[in-house]
Amino acid sequence: MQLFPCPFCGLRNEREFHYMAEPGKFRPDTSSQISAEDWAAYLYDTRNEKGRVREIWMHQTCRELFVMERDSVTMNVLGSTSLRASAGEAAE
Ligand SMILES: [Zn+2]
């Protein structure tokens, strides 16, 4: 078992968390026509980076979204911040 840091609740069991998305990956505008390839790319293409990564997670107990930074090789958690606090960074 690993402990993940919720910015609102502190360290909690990893089973209380759910991976949500990559920061900066936005849903395509579906009000206009979108190709099947673009939609599939949105759904299935991931960066899958090696090393230091930033990911959006939800703590299912408090239902808050936040950005967790971790090392994808060692699985060590490097920190977490509220999604509200990092919203400007994610849009970059
Ligand atoms: Zn929480």
Rg of the chain's alpha carbons, rounded to an integer? 15
Residue that has been written with the tokens 């090393």 in this structure = 51
Neighbouring residues of the ion ligand 1, judged by CB less than 5 Å: 6, 8-9, 59, 62
Ligand 1 midpoint to CA 64 (Å): 6
Cα separation, 81 vs 48, in Å, equals 21
Say whether pLDDT at 36 is over 60.
Answer: yes
Distance of CA 62 to the CA centre of its chain: 16
- Per the structure, the complete domain to which residue 59 belongs is given by 3-26+35-90
CATH code where residue 45 lies: 3.30.2270.10
pLDDT digits (tens, 9 = 90+) for 49-91: 999 999 999 999 999 999 999 999 999 999 999 987 766 554 4
Overall number of domains in the chain:
1
